[in-house]
Structure 1
Amino acid sequence: MRMRKILKSGIVAATLSVAMGHSALADNIVMWVNSPLLAGPNAPLHQELKAFEAATGHTVEVQAVSHMEMERNLFVALSSGAGPDVMALDIAWVAGLADAGLLLDITEQTKPIAAEYQPGPFASGRYGQKQYALPLYTNNVALFVNDQMLEQAGIKKAPTTWAEFRDAAVAMTNKDKQTYGVSFGGSRMGAFQLYSYIWQNGGEIVDNQGKSRVSEPAAVEAVDFLAKLYTQNRAMPESVLTAGNWDEVHAPFIQERAGMVVTGDWALAAFAKGNPKLKFSVHPLPSGIQAATVIGGYDLAIKADTKFPKASFELIRWLTGPRSVELMRKYERLSATTAATTPEAVAALPKPLQPFMSQAATGRARPVIASWTQIHSDVFGNVWDSVIRGKPAKDAMSEADIAIKRLLEKK
């Protein structure tokens, strides 16, 4: 298991503990977080943990683990009775770990504070009607637009509806210049991008009762709408067939060969590095029947058999509560609290982040079900691959419905 060196602040914590009169028997909490939060000794999280230690008398041993290794490492460690007391989880992992009995049920502790969090991010920590995690930070997808390409296509403003989105994509497509309207991913990357459109069309994937709804007309129409941007309008580059990571999805936009891209705030750093002269703007996703955007982000959860349940909950509450607005601002990320959505809080964000927070109220978490990872990669990844290669969306979604129902029936 690879991970960065354990970062301890025990000496500082002990000094503060004595000064504040804390017990020498204070709990020591082991915490795993995704490595970008601990990028360097001056990372904001270090200071926040010192403040927690000073206020509570507890100590925290924080370890950085890469995103690609975190889920596997957690399953292995927690299943053997080891692992951290507190862990940062991609919201897509909560259901699997909770279903395996590896996370502590925090339903009762969170009932009084539920309204302090945005509904979508808060729901991402719920599985089987029980709460297992609180949102550390959130993100969603918005529309990035190359302002120069839009103007050259004769369009005065960024699209706000599906019809305008399609028209802008077609207008910016030029076969001779090899430019395209919008960059999209293949397989599971494209699947992630299309979920927002299913919800925007009034469709569902798996509803709150655990029923597959993907074969219904609203979901089928959304997939068909996006697929035709490639199969009929040729408004997506050929890379849509193979783009399997965000770098490949972003590349046509960075190279100014695609006028738009649907992606999240993680793209900002990639664009600044890949093309510092790129002139673009960020906008809420164009709406269908209703506004919706798929959310991502990380939650904080507690090991089911931790020796320090009370102290561990104090820690996740400290990091995800009101203090998270300022903490996440330092990382240029979005706090998942409702306080972060006020006009004043949004205005305090860097301008490129403001559209993401402005549409936070329409954020939707992917279904929090144990089989979601498989449904996303194997089922929806195949759906998207098949429809951009010409398979009718109705047929692809009917097959997906059968596959999803089989996975949901597995215990």
Structure 2
Amino acid sequence: MRRKFRVALLATVATLVAGAASAQDLIAKDRVGPADAPKTLSFRLTGDGPGNTLPDIAEGYQKLFVDFIQKHPGWQIKLERMSDNIGQEQARMLEQTKSGTGPDCAAVDSFVLALFMNAGVLKPLNEYFTQAEIDDLFPFVREGITGKDGKIYAWWWDTDLRVLYRNKDIVADAPQTWDELKAAAIASKDKGMEGVLVNGGRWEGTTFDWLANFWAQGGKLVDDSGKPIFAEGENREKFLKAVNYFKDLVDSGAAPKRIATIVNYDEFNAAAAAGSTALFIGGNWQLAQLKSTLEPEEFAKWTFSAIPGPTKDQRSTGTGGWTIGAFSSDPEKVAMCAGIAKEIYSGAGNALQQQLPTSKALFDKYDVFKSDANKAFAAALVDGQARPGVPIYPEISNQIQVMMGDVLTGAKTPEAALDAANAAVQAAYARL
């Protein structure tokens, strides 16, 4: 009996070792699945995956991808990592998919999804999701992924919002208005800080974070037909008011001049870790990053609140997020792509990265979203506004980025910069 027990024990250990070894063999820097798998799917992704810069997040995704590929024997997923220049990467991918040289499956940023849908390069995914699952999506999410024919052409798996982070030891009370934020930022400088940090460089984050100030006033970028109207009538007044607000932050010293070069949210985390700022406007996902970056006693000093508006009653925040879309004409590859969206990202990926779900049911399913912080983020989504899902939006964003650089560096007045941006956008709209 003892010998049989030892043999059984050794067999079990051998099986476990073999299983661990095979799991290791199933993932590499640019591959998930056996190297000699007969079927391959190319998947272009962001840092939300096995190559994440945070070790615990990377390990979590590695497990999710390995678990997924083990359920699909004979398949290999070729991983194609995008750079951090999201706007450029998405534009390049659109051109590739139009010419038939793009990936089989990819992460598509929600703000350019309309361009891909308009180009007719995405495959419908309705058969892989129940109507109940589609109906449970937040309205702005469901609207964003639905084409004119009523079919869904991507799965929007996470959403986010922007908030004002602050070090409570430096800024005790949450600023409620633009004037209060400016005063708090200037006061923080007297304590050795550099003022409030915001995105101001040439990238999508600059446009999206700033738009909250335009939207809070009721401003509209486009009309119901998708025509750009941000430089007309009341919209022009609201637009200039929001631009002048950011200009005044720099001119007054409430924000450092270097914000005109900030093109990555990681800079805010670094500044918080270095103790050089007490205020920054960032994404909800950064709370978890701060927790993993800062010492517990330092993290305890940080909290967040709604982005201040021109008045206490005028508030808005941008709601973004990523989608997964299929470009392949091979039905099997489309099914695999939908599986990645559903089994890796939607739900499990949300919980892993604490990226807010797009479905009400998932908020109740995962304990991590029952925390006070995530409940507050979920509640803040009521003031959320998604970027308009129209083909001209990327060019509007591009011109806002150019405009912001010109204004923050003093190269142009807000009025001249707005006129130049509008002229470029109108010309692009005429070409659509």
TM-score (norm 1): 0.76
Distance between the aligned counterparts of 2:367 and 2:64, measured in 1?
A: 24
Q: 1:274 to 1:327 in 2, by over 3 A?
A: closer
What is the Cα deviation at residue 333 of structure 1?
Answer: 1.9
Structure-to-structure mapping, 1:211-290, within 5 angstroms: 211-215=227-231, 216=235, 217-231=237-251, 233-268=252-287, 271-272=290-291, 275-276=294-295, 277-278=298-299, 279-287=301-309, 288=311, 289-290=313-314
Q: Which amino acid aligns with 2:322?
A: Y
Q: Which amino acid aligns with 2:33?
A: K
Q: Which residue of 2 aligns with 1:194?
A: 210
- Of 335, 338, 345, 2:360 maps to 338
* Structure 2 residue 318 is the aligned partner of structure 1 residue 294: yes
Q: Which amino acid aligns with 1:221?
A: K
Q: 1:386 to 1:128 in 2, by over 3 A?
A: farther
What is the Cα deviation at residue 210 of structure 1?
Answer: 1.1
Structure-to-structure mapping, 1:303-382, within 5 angstroms: 303=327, 305-308=329-332, 311-312=335-336, 315=339, 318-319=342-343, 324-341=346-363, 348-349=369-370, 352-377=373-398, 379-382=399-402
Aligned-residue identity in percent: 20
* Structure 2 residue 131 is the aligned partner of structure 1 residue 116: no
Distance between the aligned counterparts of 1:186 and 1:396, measured in 2?
A: 15
Distance between the aligned counterparts of 1:262 and 1:86, measured in 2?
A: 32
What is the Cα deviation at residue 60 of structure 1?
Answer: 5.2
* Structure 2 residue 55 is the aligned partner of structure 1 residue 43: no
Q: 1:254 to 1:206 in 2, by over 3 A?
A: farther
Q: 1:359 to 1:207 in 2, by over 3 A?
A: farther
Residue by residue over 1:301-355, the C-alpha shift from the partner in whole angstroms, topping out at 9 and shown as x without a partner, is 11163333773575266348xx93344112322211122456x868745555444
Distance between the aligned counterparts of 2:254 and 2:149, measured in 1?
A: 42
Q: Which residue of 2 aligns with 1:206?
A: 222
Structure 1 contact 29–308 (Cα < 8 Å) conserved: no
What is the Cα deviation at residue 148 of structure 1?
Answer: 0.8
CA RMSD of superposed structures (Å): 3.8
What is the Cα deviation at residue 238 of structure 1?
Answer: 2.4
Structure 2 contact 32–65 (Cα < 8 Å) conserved: no
**If you compute each CA radius of gyration, which structure gives the higher value, 1 or 2?**
2
Distance between the aligned counterparts of 1:248 and 1:260, measured in 2?
A: 12
Structure 1 contact 28–58 (Cα < 8 Å) conserved: no
- Of 31, 36, 39, 1:6 maps to 31
Q: Which amino acid aligns with 1:311?
A: A
Structure 1 contact 33–62 (Cα < 8 Å) conserved: no
What is the Cα deviation at residue 202 of structure 1?
Answer: 0.7
* Structure 2 residue 80 is the aligned partner of structure 1 residue 65: yes
Distance between the aligned counterparts of 1:9 and 1:164, measured in 2?
A: 57
* Structure 2 residue 193 is the aligned partner of structure 1 residue 179: yes
Structure-to-structure mapping, 1:39-188, within 5 angstroms: 39=51, 42-44=59-61, 46-47=63-64, 50=67, 54=71, 61-68=76-83, 71=90, 74-75=93-94, 78-106=97-125, 112=131, 113-126=133-146, 131-151=152-172, 157-174=173-190, 178-188=192-202
Distance between the aligned counterparts of 2:402 and 2:42, measured in 1?
A: 39
Q: Which amino acid aligns with 1:386?
A: D
Distance between the aligned counterparts of 1:361 and 1:59, measured in 2?
A: 44
Distance between the aligned counterparts of 1:399 and 1:266, measured in 2?
A: 34
Structure 2 contact 138–359 (Cα < 8 Å) conserved: yes
Residue by residue over 1:104-132, the C-alpha shift from the partner in whole angstroms, topping out at 9 and shown as x without a partner, is 24579879454311233334435667642
Structure 1 contact 142–355 (Cα < 8 Å) conserved: no
Distance between the aligned counterparts of 1:93 and 1:187, measured in 2?
A: 19
Deviates more, 1:104-113 or 1:32-41: 104-113
Q: 1:350 to 1:62 in 2, by over 3 A?
A: farther
Q: Which residue of 2 aligns with 1:23?
A: none
Q: Which amino acid aligns with 1:145?
A: R
SS in structure 2 of the partner of residue 172 of structure 1: helix
Q: 1:207 to 1:62 in 2, by over 3 A?
A: farther
SS in structure 1 of the partner of residue 79 of structure 2: strand
Q: Which residue of 2 aligns with 1:22?
A: none
Q: 1:381 to 1:44 in 2, by over 3 A?
A: closer
Q: Which residue of 1 aligns with 2:419?
A: 398
What is the Cα deviation at residue 147 of structure 1?
Answer: 0.9
Q: Which amino acid aligns with 1:406?
A: A
Structure 1 contact 34–64 (Cα < 8 Å) conserved: no
Q: What 5-or-longer segments of structure 2 have no aligned partner? A: 1-27
Distance between the aligned counterparts of 1:360 and 1:75, measured in 2?
A: 29
Q: 1:73 to 1:60 in 2, by over 3 A?
A: farther
Distance between the aligned counterparts of 2:130 and 2:225, measured in 1?
A: 21
SS in structure 2 of the partner of residue 62 of structure 1: strand
Distance between the aligned counterparts of 1:408 and 1:107, measured in 2?
A: 31
Q: Which amino acid aligns with 2:181?
A: F
